[in-house]
Amino acid sequence: MADSLILEVHDLVVNVLTGIYSQETHLPQPLKISISATLDIADRYTPDTPLDASKNYMTLKEAATHLPEGVHFTLIEAVADHIIEKLFDDDARISHISVKIVKLAIAEDGEAIGITMARSRK
């Protein structure tokens, strides 16, 4: 297995215009979004290694929380796809991204209902 560095941001709650049913389409609904991004690893990380040897994990958070304003995503798959494309465009060192989205509004007993989309750079 090759060495890799996986940056992660988990359980961000973001209000997103999404859904196909009439009760979903007029108001944003809360989604719990988690992102894992695999990128090239440096040979070594020492106490004085600069940030550009890695990646600022806040860019993962921003990709999930700064979605296009006023855009209605019919499917949560489109939300995941948007996040993945934004992160691939942001940094060529990212080789793989996984985005998990849970629709909080449809849970009745605390269950997690949603999707996980994973893509490798083409």
Nearest to 63 by CA among 37, 26, 24: 37
For residue 92, what pLDDT is reported? 94
**C-alpha separations of 28 from 18, 103, 119, 121 in Å:** 7, 11, 26, 30
Residue 32 tokens read as 């719990």
For residue 17, what pLDDT is reported? 92
Residue 65 tokens read as 């929380």
Q: What predicted TM-score, i.e. pTM, was given to this entire model?
A: 0.91
Whose structure tokens read 């719990």? 32
- Is CATH 3.30.1130.10 the right assignment for the domain spanning 5-120? yes
For residue 114, what pLDDT is reported? 96
Are 12 and 61 in contact by the 8 Å Cβ rule? The answer is yes
Q: What is the mean pLDDT of each run of 10 residues along the chain (122 residues)?
A: 88 93 76 96 90 90 94 95 97 96 88 95 89
